[in-house]
């Protein structure tokens, strides 16, 4: 056994993993990670990122996952062990990965809608808030990449959320001559803004709540920011684009009120992307007359496809976005409860959890 392999085995013997036991309660548990099976990778986590989905799951659980469950799904790290048959990666490789991958053979995969494959979210990798994590063969084969040496682990861990944003933007197909309004100044909203700016879209406006979030958006390159709570917010949005209103509205709040606002703000002939997922059991009321006679296009892209992950990897590897600036706090694994307190208070966009 090499020194690197011996070090990996010692690390496994002392591994910790965060478990979401019930809404609002996380436990950090000791465990011994097994050696990887054929096709698997065992990685040492170098960075796990907080996520809006994690926050929603922390608050109320998740309709697709049962509690208790290992927690966290945005990560980057170093290969500790490679299972039999893995040839693309070896111990010591610095890697970045998305936590899901489709089967490639089902109805949806055959129709180019791999984001809807039952295997994708159904076999999602959880447990990134940990010292070590095992990646299954389907993720290793399709959505795992060597991290460029000059790309920080924190920025590499953005691969999964950026893949979701890339998929949504591919669906929306923003034109360079358009005005785009993003509702929501959180991490996802700002990732959308960075991707649109990198694509050369003429005007990208972020509508958010709170001076600090608006300042973050402004510093990251938004052409304009609007306080959603301002008395003149509706009129400000209506004045955009020569008084016609935005060509495209991307909703990133995950609240029904945000979905309704997106519909109300888009211009005639415009497009709405409902990106933020709302709580289970909620419903949206649509004015059918406006929908029809104003010729609106409504889209609700979900998850991502392998081609979206590849594109997100290229954007990060090419340092095209300055996406790492969204990570504006750092905590140790043992401080995870404090991370979620900070997220609840809106004090951080994304926090890097570093074992």
pLDDT band at 249 (very low <50, low <70, confident <90, very high): very high
Q: Whole-model pTM?
A: 0.93
Do the beta carbons of residue 91 and residue 5 sit within 8 Å? yes
Parts of the chain belonging to CATH 3.40.50.720: 164-299
Which has the closest alpha carbon to 325: 201, 207, 197, 175? 197
The vertex-136 CA angle with 132 and 138, nearest 5°, equals 145
Least confident among 65-69, 123-127, 156-160, 320-324? 65-69
Q: What topology does CATH give the domain 164-299?
A: Rossmann fold (3.40.50)
**Cα–Cα distance for residue pair 172/273, rounded to 1 Å:** 7
CB count within 10 Å of CB 32 equals 10
pLDDT for 282: 95
Nearest Cα to 77, choosing from 152, 15, 164?
A: 152
Q: Which residues contact 328 (CB under 8 A, 6 or more apart)?
A: 216, 348, 349, 350, 351
The C-alpha atoms of residue 322 and residue 338 are separated, in whole angstroms, by: 26
> Which tokens hold the place of 187?
């991490």
Over residues 115-119, mean pLDDT: 93
Mean pLDDT of all residues belonging to the chain? 93
Residue 307: CB atoms within 10 Å: 14
When pLDDT is averaged across residues 132-143 and rounded to a whole number, the result is 97
Per-residue confidence band for 14, with pLDDT thresholds at 50, 70 and 90: confident
φ, ψ of residue 219 in degrees (nearest 5): -65, -30
pLDDT of 7: 44
More confident residue, 277 or 94: 94
CA distance 66 to 325: 33
Angle between helix 52-60 and 336-344 (nearest 10) = 100
Its sign, for the CA torsion 146, 150, 151, 153, is: positive
CATH classification (class only), 3-157+322-354: alpha beta
pLDDT of residue 339: 95
pLDDT digits 0-9 by tens, 309-327: 999 999 999 999 999 999 9
280 pLDDT exceeds 80? yes
**Three-state SS across 278-322?**
CCCCCCCCCCHHHHHHCCCEEECCCCCCHHHHHHHHHHHHCCCCC
**pLDDT over 60 at 90, yes or no:** yes
pLDDT of residue 13: 52
Average pLDDT over residues 71-82: 97
Say how far apart CA 47 and CA 326 lie, in whole Å: 14
Residue 272: pLDDT above 90? Answer: yes
What percentage of residues in the chain have a pLDDT greater than 90?
85
Instruction: State the span(s) of the chain assigned CATH 3.90.180.10.
Output: 3-157+322-354
pLDDT of 52 higher than 90? no
Higher pLDDT, 172 or 10: 172
Predicted confidence at residue 192, as pLDDT, reads 98
**How many helices, marked H, and strands, marked E, lie in the chain?**
14, 16
């Amino acid at each position: 056994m090499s020194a690197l392999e011996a070090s990996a085995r010692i690390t496994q013997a002392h591994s910790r993993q965060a478990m979401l036991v019930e809404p609002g309660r996380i436990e950090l548990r000791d465990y011994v990670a097994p050696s990887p099976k054929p096709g698997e990778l065992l990685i040492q986590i170098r960075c796990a990122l907080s996520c809006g989905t994690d926050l929603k799951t922390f608050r109320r659980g998740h309709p697709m996952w049962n509690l208790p469950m290992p927690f966290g799904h945005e990560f980057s790290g170093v290969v500790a062990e490679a299972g039999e048959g893995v040839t693309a990666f070896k111990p010591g490789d610095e890697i970045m990965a998305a936590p899901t991958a489709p089967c490639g053979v089902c109805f949806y995969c055959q129709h180019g809608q791999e984001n809807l494959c039952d295997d994708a979210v159904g076999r999602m990798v959880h447990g990134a808030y940990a010292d070590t994590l095992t990646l299954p063969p389907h993720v290793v084969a399709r959505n795992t990449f060597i991290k460029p040496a000059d790309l920080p682990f924190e920025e590499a861990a953005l691969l999964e959320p950026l893949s979701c944003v890339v998929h949504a933007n591919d669906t929306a197909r923003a034109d360079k001559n358009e005005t785009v309004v993003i509702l929501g100044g959180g991490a996802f909203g700002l990732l959308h803004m960075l991707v649109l700016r990198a694509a050369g879209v003429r005007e990208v406006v972020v509508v958010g709540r709170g001076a600090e979030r608006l300042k973050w958006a402004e510093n990251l390159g938004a052409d304009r920011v609007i306080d959603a709570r301002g008395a003149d917010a509706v009129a400000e949005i209506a004045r955009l684009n020569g008084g016609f209103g935005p060509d495209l509205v991307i909703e990133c709040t995950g609240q029904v009120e945000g979905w309704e606002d997106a519909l109300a703000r888009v211009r005639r002939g415009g497009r709405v992307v409902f990106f933020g997922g709302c709580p289970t059991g909620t419903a949206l009321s649509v004015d059918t007359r406006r929908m029809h006679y104003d010729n609106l296009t409504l889209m609700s892209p979900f998850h991502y496809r392998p081609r979206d992950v590849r594109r997100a990897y290229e954007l990060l590897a090419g340092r095209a976005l300055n996406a790492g600036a969204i990570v504006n706090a750092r905590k140790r694994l043992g401080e995870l409860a404090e991370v979620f307190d900070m997220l609840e208070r809106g004090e951080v966009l994304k926090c890097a959890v570093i074992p």
